[in-house]
Amino acid sequence: MPEFLNNILANIAFIFQRLNWLSVLDLFLVTMVFFIVLLLMRGTQAMVLLRGALLLFVLIFLLASLEVLPAFSWMVTVTLPAILLAIPVIFAPEIRHALERLGRAGSILPTERSSIQMRDTISSISHASGRLSARKHGALIILQRRDPLEDYVKTGVFMDANVSAELLLQVFYPNTPLHDGAVIISGSKIIAAACVLPLSSSGVLNSIADRQMGLRHRAALGISEVSDAIAVVVSEETGSISVVHAGRMIRRLDAERLENILRAFFRPAQQRGLFASFSKLFQTRSEKGEEE
């Protein structure tokens, strides 16, 4: 046993002796690539597929390394190129979403003018959400940002009306023609109501103990996974207000906290400082909300 440990220590010392600043930079770049890929895939169905693929790869590698299984080793060698070609097909949606997130990272941040236009809109949404929450009237409000949402606007009823708390209350009044589906807002205008949104398949809601979140929350997560839009959800069961962005959810908000969060998203670039710091705060608060 001491000889075995001495060999390990000798190998480690040999590796460190060969390290230089280029080697450290090389390892850092490789680590960052893997970190970014895993960060982009976190919370998506790709993580489940990745775990399954890694388990299958390790199992196949162990079996193929056995000299007593020559036929199996030959089969793995022959089918390996086909497996490598199949990986992009299997992960095609996740790869597309990751590239879309990467492309949105360099987009233009909100300006002072757009922030002023959104101020009254956010106030109306927060006021309406508070009243809807008190009445336990379900609602789903989507705030468009940089990514276009025309495909989802076409599924609803076109309105092109100025945003007001009274109009939102009327739209989401139970049993009215427009209360089912989502309202899509762009700037100071309600573009459409009763819109159909994609449902999330990431399994985020399955990890939350609260089972009183239904299709509205799944739709909010779904639209946040395929665009940079922000979704506001009012639960019909509990009256709880939630905000969803980039596949993450902050729950159990009141009207004041909701307004503060929405204002932070639409704050102009010169006032925002490091946007990444708020993203980290959003992530931390969403994780706390899921634990509650």
pLDDT digits (tens, 9 = 90+) for 206-245: 555 555 578 899 999 999 888 889 999 999 988 999 999 9
**Confidence category of residue 38, pLDDT binned at 50, 70, 90:** confident
Average pLDDT, the chain: 78
pLDDT in tens, 237-267: 889 999 999 888 898 899 999 999 999 888 7
Q: Among residues of the chain, what percentage have pLDDT more than 90?
A: 30
Boundary-marking domain end, from 104, 124, 156: 104
Of the candidates 49, 60, 187, the residue with the CA atom closest to the CA atom of residue 113: 187
CA-CA-CA-CA torsion sign (225, 226, 231, 235): negative
Residue 108 is predicted with a pLDDT of 47
Q: Are residues 97 and 117 in the same domain?
A: no
Q: Are residues 160 and 28 in the same domain?
A: no
Per the structure, the complete domain to which residue 284 belongs is given by 112-291
CATH number, domain of 158, equals 3.40.1700.10
Higher pLDDT, residue 85 or 111: 85
Q: Are residues 79 and 147 in the same domain?
A: no
Boundary-marking domain end, from 65, 80, 104: 104
Boundary-marking domain end, from 77, 104, 131: 104
What is the domain count for the chain?
Answer: 2
Q: Are residues 161 and 247 in the same domain?
A: yes
Q: Are residues 194 and 166 in the same domain?
A: yes
Q: Are residues 47 and 185 in the same domain?
A: no
CA-CA-CA-CA torsion sign (155, 158, 163, 166): negative
Residue the block writes with tokens 């009763």: 194
60 CB-near residues (< 8 Å, 6+ apart): 76
Q: Are residues 181 and 229 in the same domain?
A: yes
Q: Are residues 226 and 278 in the same domain?
A: yes
Q: Are residues 84 and 116 in the same domain?
A: no
Q: In a 10 Å sphere around its CB, with 0-12 CB exposed, 13-18 middle and 19+ buried, how is residue 225 labelled?
A: buried
**Which own/partner pairs from 211-217 qualify as long-range (CB within 8 Å, at least 24 positions apart)?**
212/237, 212/238, 216/138, 216/139, 216/140, 217/242, 217/244, 217/249
Of the candidates 87, 91, 195, 201, the residue with the CA atom closest to the CA atom of residue 142: 195
Q: Are residues 100 and 116 in the same domain?
A: no
The stretches of the chain forming alpha helices (DSSP H) are 2-17, 21-41, 45-64, 70-90, 92-104, 112-135, 150-153, 165-171, 215-226, 255-265, 269-272, 275-291
Residue 277 is predicted with a pLDDT of 46
Q: Are residues 121 and 212 in the same domain?
A: yes
Token pair recorded at residue 191: 């573009």
- Is residue 276 pLDDT above 60, yes or no? no
Q: Are residues 259 and 279 in the same domain?
A: yes
pLDDT in tens, 132-185: 999 999 999 999 988 889 889 999 999 999 999 999 999 999 989 898 899 999
Higher pLDDT, residue 57 or 206: 57
pLDDT in tens, 8-25: 777 777 777 777 888 788
pLDDT in tens, 26-35: 888 888 888 8
